[in-house]
Amino acid sequence: MTTATDARVLQTLDGPPWDIDAYLKIGGYEAWKKCVKELSATDIVNELKKAGLRGRGGAGFPTGIKWEKVLNHRVKEHYFVCNAGEHEPGTFKDRYMLKHAPHQLIEGCLIGAYTVQAKAAFIYLNHEYQEERENLKKALAQAKERGFLGKNAMGSGMDLDLQIFDGYGSYVAGEETAMLESMQGRPAMPRQKPPFYPTDFGLYGKPTLVNNVETLCNIPRILQKGSAWFTQVGTEKCPGTMMFSLSGAINKPGVYERPMGITIRELIDTCGGGVPGGRKIKAVFPGGPAFSMVTADQLDLTMDFDSLKKAGTGLGSAGMIVVDDATCMVAKTLHFSNFFKGESCGQCPPCRMGTINLAALLTKIEQGEGTQKDMDSLLQLCGFVKGTGYCTLVTGAAVLVQSSVKLFRHEFDEHIRLQRCPYQPVAAGAAAH
Ligand SMILES: Cc1cc2nc3c(=O)[nH]c(=O)nc-3n(C[C@H](O)[C@H](O)[C@H](O)COP(=O)(O)O)c2cc1C
């Protein structure tokens, strides 16, 4: 059972989210003050390393180590970018924090940019997040007025501004190197890694600190309350909480902050209020459509980077999607496959062609025109494209199909045997033929 005292990110404000006085009343900007007045950059990095904070944007990379890499880089011109590009189906947690905690995010960004001595700092924002943009703008104006950012921000000796950069508006543009490319006016296409990791070769080719919105919202309270407080919740290797986005066949979809290591069952039952209409769970995407599904007998798996990886899936950015037993898995797989097809940036041939062909084969099967040979081609194609590409989009597209076929092969076979989708009603008169 989780309690309100477990919260590490969300705080209750007595006022609208952009109201700086409401934020100051709960200790807002105290951590920023502490960083400037009491802590060295190395102290900040060490505290984050002790906290064991891991990036919440999908990869779970240790935040303190990333900050240290940029801070100590031999090239001294550094940049800072907050990744608020959020565009994955079923993930909407960053949107929630942008809307409800803009000052907390600004404080996290200021600390990040200050620690790595960034020459310029940006929030790369999903261009569709209009209301969030307005909240952020109001909060930024207030923080500037109080001297928390701008010229000689907080007496730090740094002229620190935080600029909102309107995002390119695609899924791939959230991949950090594609994001940086688009910020330089080029198509949002990922760079080859290695060697082009942002900590070495980021914005304008300079070392750049890129962090996710939720990662940065964790920073102020870790520095204010200490790493020992932070690690009281969560698991040993994944301390703290996660902002889980719950959607799909769920009574109460939404964003829930819960400790890392909560079970899938507890999230669905206690947060999401179970599955609507007395339906049963057929499958769950614990970390969104780019990771393997799990089935109803795996609901006691715990939600953290390591446990899910060990179980053959992943946490990603914790966009959990629940699928009920009224759903055709071929149609569901096709739905997400079409998403990957539409979002491939087209740079890498295996991704460009692979996502098109995966979706085409799935369409054929779903429409009752598929054969067992198509099933062989589908699985063969997954094997060919997996692990290729400058980013993980095509791997996600292949993993989706492989996982669906592995767990629900009988549904694919049934489409082929009946030459129609068994979940679609049979047209009048058609049954006799
Ligand atoms: C296709 C793709 C899309 C991504 N989209 C996002 C995104 O919208 N927001 C985000 O923070 N990270 C996204 N990531 C992960 C980023 O590349 C990067 O790992 C992250 O921003 C680093 O921040 P963190 O260390 O705080 O997690 C995406 C990765 C891939 C492969």
Output b/e per residue, 50-65; b: 16+ Cβ within 10 A.
Answer: bbbbbbbbbebeebbe
Report the C-alpha gap between 400 and 382 in whole angstroms: 9
The rounded Å distance from CA 57 to ligand 1 centre is 5
Q: Which atom of ligand 1 is nearest to the CA of 392?
A: 31
Lookup: tokens for 120? 């310029």
Q: Which atom of ligand 1 is nearest to the CA of 174?
A: 5
Ligand 1 pocket mutation, candidates 49, 53, 83, criterion most atoms within 8 A of CB: 83
Report the C-alpha gap between 104 and 332 in whole angstroms: 37
Q: pLDDT value at position 398?
A: 98
Residue 232 has pLDDT above 80, yes or no: yes
The three-state (H, E, C) secondary structure of 168-188, written as one string? CCCCHHHCHHHHHHHHCCCCC
How does strand 78-84 pair with strand 118-125? parallel
Query: CATH 1.20.1440.230 region(s) of the chain?
Result: 329-418
- For residues 216-230, average pLDDT: 98
The rounded Å distance from CA 424 to ligand 1 centre is 37
Q: Phi and psi dihedrals of 259, rounded to 5? A: -60, 145
- For residues 59-69, average pLDDT: 98
Q: pLDDT value at position 432?
A: 42
How does strand 208-212 pair with strand 78-84? parallel
- For residues 281-298, average pLDDT: 98
- pLDDT bin (cut points 50, 70, 90) of residue 429 is low
Q: pLDDT value at position 196?
A: 85
Q: pLDDT tens digits, residue range 311-350? A: 999 999 999 999 999 999 999 999 999 999 999 999 999 9
Whether 392 lines ligand 1, by a CB cut-off of 6 Å, is yes
Residue 198 has pLDDT above 70, yes or no: yes
**DSSP secondary structure code for residue 271 in this structure:** I
Ligand 1 pocket mutation, candidates 48, 68, 176, 192, criterion most atoms within 8 A of CB: 176
The topology (CATH level 3) of 4-230 is Rossmann fold (3.40.50)
Q: Which atom of ligand 1 is nearest to the CA of 86?
A: 8
What is the residue with the minimal CA distance to atom 2 of ligand 1? 175
- For residues 294-301, average pLDDT: 98
Query: CATH 3.40.50.11540 region(s) of the chain?
Result: 4-230
Task: Please tell me the least confidently modeled range out of 168-172, 200-204, 282-286, 366-370.
Answer: 168-172
Cut 0.85: pTM above it: yes
Whether 202 lines ligand 1, by a CB cut-off of 6 Å, is no
Residue 426 has pLDDT above 80, yes or no: no
What is the residue with the minimal CA distance to atom 20 of ligand 1? 57
- pLDDT bin (cut points 50, 70, 90) of residue 309 is very high
Whether 83 lines ligand 1, by a CB cut-off of 6 Å, is yes
Q: Which atom of ligand 1 is nearest to the CA of 179?
A: 17
Whether 391 lines ligand 1, by a CB cut-off of 6 Å, is yes
Whether 58 lines ligand 1, by a CB cut-off of 6 Å, is yes
- pLDDT bin (cut points 50, 70, 90) of residue 195 is confident
The rounded Å distance from CA 214 to ligand 1 centre is 11
The rounded Å distance from CA 253 to ligand 1 centre is 23
What top-level class would CATH report for the domain 241-324? alpha beta
Whether 56 lines ligand 1, by a CB cut-off of 6 Å, is yes
10 Å CB burial of residue 19 (0-12, 13-18, 19+) is middle
- pLDDT bin (cut points 50, 70, 90) of residue 143 is very high
- Mean pLDDT for the chain? 96
Whether 60 lines ligand 1, by a CB cut-off of 6 Å, is no
Which residues on neighbouring strands pair with residue 264, listed in sequence order? none
Residue 1 has pLDDT above 80, yes or no: no
Whether 175 lines ligand 1, by a CB cut-off of 6 Å, is yes
- For residues 51-72, average pLDDT: 98
Whether 64 lines ligand 1, by a CB cut-off of 6 Å, is no
Whether 174 lines ligand 1, by a CB cut-off of 6 Å, is yes
Does domain 329-418 fall under CATH 1.20.1440.230? My reply is: yes
What is the residue with the minimal CA distance to atom 25 of ligand 1? 55
Report the C-alpha gap between 72 and 58 in whole angstroms: 24
